[in-house]
Structure formats: structure tokens, C-alpha cells
Amino acid sequence: MNKGLVLAGVLVIVLGVYAFHSKFYYPPLPIDTVSKKEVIDSLNDSSKEIVKIDDDNDYEWFITRMEQGRAYRNLKEMISNNGWHFKTQEGSGYIFEKNHDTLIATTEMWTGNYVIVKVPKGWNN
């Protein structure tokens, strides 16, 4: 009986460590080229408030912490630093203008602590 309890306890600890390490309990990402762990680690290992996590043919993907609306300030600051002027927000879309061009960056609340941002490529040229 004692050996069974010890074995069960060790198994629970091993599974708990695996769950914490792999971040499998987080919701699915809107992109599938990076893992949840890589995304969280990239933000935790960076001194930046918003971190690029991937890009594809049309978009660049970023992650930032939510903490009291900070994510949206980080997004606006990042894009404004490249000459874009924030105009308005419509739902999850943030609309910026620059030289008669329009840029729409969209956000997705990934967890209660993190926001994923999708920005069309070429925004920082």
C-alpha cells in the first residue's frame, strides 16, 4: 500500500512538472509555427514590453502582457515609434495612418495575462 502511494505521488509530481514546463494548459495559439512555451519564454527572456514571436507571408505576430491595459499602450507605442499615428479603435482592431496609408493591427486576448498582436508586414518600413 505504501509503495503504491509513493508511486502515485511521484507520478503526480512528474506530471505536474511536465504540465508547468510545456504550458499545455494554455489555450491554442493563432499561429502554429511556435510552441506555447517558446512564446512565453520569448517574452519572459526579453527586456522589451512587446516581443515579435513569428511572421508569415502577410503578418508579423507579437506578444505582450495585459496588466491593466498595458498591452494596448505597448501596441500603440511600438507602431507610433515607426511614424504611424493612432486614429481609432474598432473592436480588436487598432487603426493607424501614415502618409495617406492605413494600417490595422488586430489583438487577441490569449490568456488573462497575455495579448497576441497581428500586424500586416511592411508596417515598420
Domain positions in the chain: 30-120
The predicted pLDDT at position 6 comes to 74
The predicted pLDDT at position 18 comes to 67
CB 7 within 8 A of CB 1: no
- H helices of 45-92, in order, are 70-80
Positions of the chain with pLDDT lower than 50, given as ranges: none
| Rounded Cα gap, residues 103 and 118, in angstroms | 11
The predicted pLDDT at position 27 comes to 86
The predicted pLDDT at position 43 comes to 93
In the three-class reduction of DSSP (H, G, I as helix; E, B as strand; rest coil), residue 100 is classed as: coil
The predicted pLDDT at position 21 comes to 59
The predicted pLDDT at position 121 comes to 94
